A and B are shown apart, each in its own frame.
Chain A
């Protein structure tokens, strides 16, 4: 059993993880600080709540929005950190920034990745509200385990797609 795949590859991997964790701490401090939370995260979360409420109304749910809260006559959710997709977006951004790549590619990855993560997150919030309103006993596990894991997995998958090495085998043949 050989667990090592060469010192250079291992060193690169560990360097990547080191940069990733450093970015994570820096972004965490920015997001968790009062100005970052009050001026960016809360308004962004309120925007998500408004979009989700619109989608839920299209589905026939009679909902109202108050800040970051979506409410119907039978159920209400408060969208907080962890449900606004910011954590997964944070992980994705840290991984993209930590990965060795040209800045143009990084910028494209950050924009497209953020959009894709938030798109899935909208679906998550809408489905969780629907589950909570119609099948409340499934809400807790769906919220804590299933959807959180799926959104993070989605973020990782997007990162892997972005980080996919260019196909070098085709290059010489094209010349």
Chain B
């Protein structure tokens, strides 16, 4: 995508529209996230005891092997999925947003982002299990597993949640900024190749 003044305005309009969508659909989206993350966790869990449920802005965690009176810890959900707004703004910045191929690319990007969110939620939950439940955490997780789970979610919080929309959008975007760019050596090599091709007689 070549940046132009209108791209900024389109991104801003997309950002505002995405905010409205995000505020409206957060709860159903969190329910879907909780459902998928629970499925994924229970695949690798023995015994499969985790139950996740969504409240506005929070994913509540319960386990069938905890006493019924035990409190349900909550995971902040907005931190996980607010980057949807960023993804929409990036796609909106492109010209011809409503063209069929762009809409398809956006759909693919949303699907990838959904899987990123599910993975982040799984790491968040594992970080909770591994580090925040006192003796239960220490008895179920070794030091390596604790660091891996907590580090994985921390990476998402610090860098991954901001980077994910950009990294997903970049290969799916309409224009290609890399074209025409490059180091001086790469550009010389490319122009030499093009000159060679144009000098060749055409059939």
Contacts and interface: CB of A to CB of B under 8 A. Distances in A.
Interface of A: 1-3, 5, 9-10, 12-14, 16-17, 20-21, 24-25, 27-28, 31-32, 81-82, 87-88, 90-91, 94-95, 99-102, 144-146, 148-150, 152-153, 156-157, 160-161, 163-166, 168
Contact of A81 (B158, B165, B171, B177): B158
B177 A164 contact: yes
Given A10-B171, A13-B170, A163-B181, 18 more contacts: A3-B105, A13-B171, A20-B166, A24-B159, A32-B151, A81-B158, A87-B159, A101-B182, A145-B78, A146-B19, A149-B82, A152-B165, A153-B86, A157-B7, A157-B11, A161-B3, A164-B2, A164-B177
Contact of B162 (A14, A87, A157): A87
A162 B162 CA distance: 19
A148 B78 CA distance: 12
A86 B85 CA distance: 20
A9 B100 CA distance: 21
Nearest to B76: A144
Contacts of A156: 90, 166
Given A100-B178, A100-B181, A90 B159 contact: yes
Counting from the closest, the 10 A-B pairs by CB-CB distance are A165-B180, A13-B171, A100-B182, A160-B3, A163-B177, A12-B178, A152-B162, A145-B82, A28-B159, A149-B85
Interface in B152-178: 154-155, 157-160, 162-163, 165-167, 170-171, 176-178
Interface in B100-138: 100-101, 104-105, 108
A91 B90 CA distance: 15
- State the majority secondary structure of interface residues on A: helix
A48 to B, nearest CB: 17
B60 interface: no
B99 to A, nearest CB: 10
18 contacts: A3-B108, A9-B176, A9-B178, A12-B178, A24-B160, A32-B154, A82-B157, A91-B162, A100-B178, A100-B186, A102-B183, A145-B78, A146-B19, A149-B85, A149-B86, A149-B89, A157-B7, A163-B177
Contacts of A21: 163, 167
A138 B165 CA distance: 25
Given A2-B101, A3-B101, A9-B179, A102 B159 contact: no
A30 B157 CA distance: 15
Interface in B49-74: none
A145 B77 CA distance: 12
B100 to A, nearest CB: 6
A31 B162 CA distance: 15
Contact of A20 (B86, B167, B182): B167
Nearest to B18: A149
Given A2-B101, A149-B15, A100 B3 contact: no
A24 B101 contact: no
Contacts of B176: 5, 9, 12-13
Contact of A168 (B105, B171, B180): B180
A170 B85 CA distance: 37
Residue of A20, A88, A156 with most partner-chain B CB within 10 A: A156
